[in-house]
Structure 1
Amino acid sequence: MKILAIAGSNSEVSINKQLVTYATTLFENAEVEIVDMNDFEMPIYKHQREVENGVPQEAKDFAAKIDNADVLLISLSEHNGTYSTAFKNVFDWTSRIKERAVWNEVPMLLMATAPGARGGLGVLEAAEKRFPLHGGNIVDTFTLPFFNDNFDKSAQKISNEEKDSELKDKIKKISAIETILEK
């Protein structure tokens, strides 16, 4: 199974990258690639740029990674209730590639975490509404509130047993779907 893990942040200390990285360790016998959004930095999307220069190669490379994955793990950082600018720009450019859906119906576990009580729920709600319109096959969602209290940074894992168990159950669910698809 090939897992593409995406943290929707360009921060070098992203808590969403820490969460999605931990989630990848819960799969057995998986080939994992963790995406760094900084590798897909492009000019801010503008229609005139697209007309003049086409879709940047970085967007095509991002799309190719999605196409080569069996499962997507996406943990979105929340900026003012929605996607980070870095993630949104990659999403926008990728959506401009002709004759493709951004997420290409690859099964995904959509996640978010934040320091506060809602744990990135606003960005999850936005993505749950938007992603299916772009080929998003959302199998399940997971949010981790109060990241600093519920994630052990030294052990790089969820320290809240209830939330850890919830994530493990969701990983089993998406793993089972992928196993069915392989048959």
Structure 2
Amino acid sequence: MRIVAFGASTSSTSINKALATYAANQVEGAQVQVLDINDYSVPMFSEDTEKEIGQAEGARAFLADLAEADAIVISFAEHNGSYAAAYKNLFDWASRIDRSIFQNKPVVHLATSPGPGGAQTVLAAATGSAPYFGADVKASVSVPSFYDNFDFETGSISNEEIAQQVKEAVAQLA
């Protein structure tokens, strides 16, 4: 099984990328490709820009990488209760090329934040809209207080209950 994982964040020290990477690697025998959304450069979306340039190359490359996956793991950063602007912009460009961005693949949605809310607002929004964009969401898990529940030295979740939730979630991708 080939899993594409990414954090919907542009931070070079993204806790969401760390979480997505950890989660995807919990699937035994899976080949995991971790994407960095910084690699998919797109201009700010507008209809005027779309008329001028057509399809943004970064969005086409993003869709091509998703197409090679058997399953997808996404961990959403939450900025003021919503998607990170860079991810939303990439998503908007990609949806203009193919509304079924996730190509009816099995998906696990995750979200985390430094605080106790665990980015639950953006997780709910992403999970609620997922069927409209071709995502077969198998599970969603919010990880609160990331720095209290993740061990960077080992690259793993230190809270056994949360670790089990994540492992059960990604097991549904098989």
- Relative to the length of structure 1, the TM-score reads 0.92
Contact 2:27 2:170 in 1 (8 A): yes
Contact 2:42 2:57 in 1 (8 A): no
Aligned residues: 174
Cα distance in 1, alignment partners of residues 169 and 136 from structure 2 = 14
Cα distance in 1, alignment partners of residues 158 and 66 from structure 2 = 30
Cα distance in 2, alignment partners of residues 44 and 169 from structure 1 = 37
Contact 2:3 2:73 in 1 (8 A): yes
Cα distance in 2, alignment partners of residues 141 and 168 from structure 1 = 11
Match status 1:121 vs 2:120: yes
Percentage of matched positions with identical amino acids = 40
Deviation of 1:169 (Å): 1.3
Partner of 2:48: 48
Match status 1:13 vs 2:13: yes
Partner of 2:80: 80
Which runs of 5 or more residues in structure 1 are unaligned? 176-183
Deviations 1:11-33 (A, max 9, x none): 00000011111112211111111
Deviation of 1:56 (Å): 1.0
Point out 4+ residue stretches in structure 1 off by more than 2 angstroms: none
Q: Secondary structure at the match of 2:21?
A: helix
* AA at the equivalent of 1:47: E
* Counterparts of residues 144-163 of structure 1 (less than 5 Å): 144-163=143-162
Deviation of 1:7 (Å): 0.7
Cα distance in 1, alignment partners of residues 42 and 5 from structure 2 = 20
* AA at the equivalent of 2:144: P
- Relative to the length of structure 2, the TM-score reads 0.96
Q: Could you say what the CA RMSD is over the residues aligned between the two structures, in angstroms? A: 1.0
Contact 1:107 1:136 in 2 (8 A): yes
